[in-house]
Structure 1
Amino acid sequence: MDPARRFFMSPQFAVAGASNDRSKFGYKILAWYHQHSLPVTPLNPRAPEIELPSHKYKTVASPRALPNPDQTSLSIVTPPPVTLALLKEAHSVGVPAVWLQPGTYDQSVLDFLDGHFAAAVVGEGGNGGEGWCVLVDGEDGLRAAKREWKAQL
């Protein structure tokens, strides 16, 4: 739980691969942060905003465009080749921690992670059968980080 605890100690969060398509995990992960009243910025280079039922978020195109990347933990919901490029940019702007959803990484991504971030939540573990997932393991991470949150729509 240490990487998840460190991930949730950041004051801000971002979701790379955020989507307006309610069936996609990029939408569901963004909604999870919103529902837990956490400050979140969606990353999507093609959509200027992501609309949830009770809130509309302006997007940024990349980690470089985050207002405070060195204070932002980044959840990633993209295919492995996109993930690798995002990680390289996130590292270059000082993002401290990343959470890679199942299906977002391959061996080249795992090789890059080594030593580039203060925390990387990825791979086997967590409470789900496919590895660490914010939707399944996020609340445990929030508790481990002693992070207060309130449910919202």
Structure 2
Amino acid sequence: MYVISPERVKNKSVMGEMESIRAFLNQKNIAVAGVSRKKSKFGNAIFKELSNKGYKLYPINPHMQEFEGKKCYHDVQSLPDEVTGIVINTKDEISRKLIADAGEKGIKHIWLQQGSLSKESLRESWILNDAIISGHCILMFADPHGIHGFHRWLKKSFGKFPN
């Protein structure tokens, strides 16, 4: 579970892991990269669940015009300026570009779903962004119910839940 780079820790005070998570969840306009035409893809589940929680979402997929009745953006640069957070649920090489583009766009709140970035790429990405949340499923923190609520309870029970 990574939230901030060791280099940045030396240079300034930083938020704790749970504070970073709360800061991300306090964003109202969030892009979701990794939505797909394939209904079983986890990016779709993230989009639907966060939409049900009241977030204003902006799907990103360069091969789609629309997702769940919303305009689908082809890249980070085409997102409206009101977007302040991004959930990334893509393969490593795509995730790296999304992180760099988010940095250029001024999007500071980045949540990487598990498997979206290798450790090497994550280290490189810390140079571009102050806080990147990684190693946690966003659905365990966004008012979880069902299986995600159960997973949250398990993490808390075994001391694996962030402080």
TM-score category of the 2 structures, normalised to the smaller one: 0.7 to 0.9
Misfit runs of 4+, over 3 Å: none
Question: Could you say which structure has the greater relative contact order, defined with CA pairs below 8 angstroms and 6 or more residues apart?
Answer: 1
TM-score of the pair, normalised by structure 2: 0.72
Q: Aligned pair 1:88/2:100, yes or no?
A: yes
Kept after mapping to 1: 8 A contact 2:84/2:109: yes
Point out the more displaced range, 114-123 or 3-12: 114-123
One-letter amino acid of the counterpart of residue 49, structure 2: W
Is 1:106 aligned with 2:118?
yes
Is the alpha carbon distance of 1:24 and 1:41 closer, same or farther for their aligned partners in structure 2, counting shifts above 3 Å? same
Q: Which runs of 5+ in 2 are unaligned?
A: 1-17, 145-163
| 1:28 aligns to 2:40 (yes or no) | no
Return the structure number with greater helix share.
2
Larger Rg: 2
Instruction: Name the residue aligned to 1:76.
Output: 88
Contact 1:10 1:72 in 2 (8 A): yes
Q: TM-score, normalised by structure 1?
A: 0.76
Unaligned runs of 5+ in 1: 124-131, 141-153
Partner of 1:3: 20
- RMSD of aligned alpha carbons: 1.6
CA contact under 8 A between 2:61 and 2:72: conserved in structure 1? yes
Aligned 8 A contact 2:100 2:125 in 1: no
Identical pairs, percent: 28
* 2:141 alignment partner, SS class: helix
